[in-house]
Amino acid sequence: MTKHVTLTQFIIEQQRELPGVSGAFTSLLNDVVTACKKISNLVNRGNLIGVLGSADSQNVQGEVQKKLDIITNDIMVDALNWTGHLAGMASEEIDDIISIPSQYPKGKYLALFDPLDGSSNIDVNLAVGTIFSILRCCEGVEPALEDFLRKGSEQVCAGFVLYGPSTMMVLTTGQGVNGFTLDQAIGEFILTHPNMTIPNDTNEFAINMSNQRFWEPPVQRYIEECLQGTEGLRKKDFNMRWVASMVAEVYRILTRGGVFLYPFDLRDPSRAGKLRIMYEANPMAFIIEQAGGACSTGRERILDIKPKGLHQRVPVILGSKNEVERIVGYHQEG
């Protein structure tokens, strides 16, 4: 009989190799896992329990919220706020820092999350997910905003869960990237994709072509070269993909390579990009780099950016290293 490695076992064994590590981090990850299992169940049941459709409200970014945006945010908060492992939280759906209730002990970590990435897909039964990031904090203190505004390179853990035909969790603690599949029969995430790596080269790109007229010249140049195929400069055909769910795009890149672009565009020069650095760009950049890929705004490495606000947006270009470096090079040429 094949012996399966559960996510809990995997994390405990990783932590044993690090001196002076307590069990608090493993327990925190188990709390995140519990929340994601609940979200997976809701996503799978959908209209059967009346959780699809618009909530007739907007989040802090002015985007229309789905019912599941609000429900999944509450699930994450309720699963994490009482356990004593966190000093505070931040969510894409909430304007300010989420404090730990005074009746509960405070821990030494901060959690940041996008509880339902790609929620525009939920009503048409396409892939959605949860993205999370963990930072260290001084134990027992009330964190200030500045404690959250840290470079992505300071993350101690990042991960995402993809709610697709199967529920997958992809995780890094800075020692490579591993993928786990939820076994619904036993309610455990099982290691199924060890040591995930991204090939340096690819012939696949993902971008929203409807925004093409707003892109800067470096991105226009790159995409045009891809579209020219074997007759063009690159001398090979490219495939284009676009799921409108970052978790699905990144998972595909982790499993077979590719490059994903949500670049700066010229519609509103005051808004640097679409994706949030704290809840989307930083955790995904950590995962992508740990898998051997690259992640940039086109002008700088994402993990080197010092955030200025809790909901700051940035352009994102990530995936197979050689393609990302080519696009960065086009930006540097001006």
Is-contact 314 277, C-beta < 8 A? yes
| 205 bridge partner residues | 240, 259
The response to whether 245 counts as a known ligand-binding position is no
The response to whether 117 counts as a known ligand-binding position is yes
154 contacts: CB under 8 Å, gap ≥ 6: 135, 136
The response to whether 66 counts as a known ligand-binding position is no
- Reduced to 3 states, what is the DSSP secondary structure of residue 78? helix
**How remote is the C-alpha of 185 from its chain's centroid?**
27
> Which of 250, 233, 249 lies closest to 241, judged by CA?
249
**How remote is the C-alpha of 85 from its chain's centroid?**
21
Pairing type for strands 259-262 and 204-206 reads parallel
The response to whether 41 counts as a known ligand-binding position is no
Structure tokens at 236: 């090979």
The response to whether 92 counts as a known ligand-binding position is yes
- Measuring CA to CA, how many Å separate 332 from each of 233, 261, 325? 19, 17, 10
Q: What b/e string do you get for 236-263 counting C-beta neighbours within 10 Å, with b at 16 or more?
A: eebeeeebebbbbbbbbbbeebbbbbbb
Question: Please, what is the Cα angle at 92 between 116 and 162, to 5 degrees?
Answer: 25
CA distance linking residue 76 with residue 42, whole number of Å: 13
The response to whether 274 counts as a known ligand-binding position is yes
**How many CB atoms are closer than 10 A to CB 295?**
24
Complete DSSP assignment for 279-299: IIIHHHHHHHHHTT-EEE-SS
**Residue numbering of the annotated binding site:** 92, 114, 116-120, 208, 274, 280
**Residue numbering of the annotated binding site for substrate:** 117-120, 208, 274
**Residue numbering of the annotated binding site for Mg(2+):** 92, 114, 116-117, 280
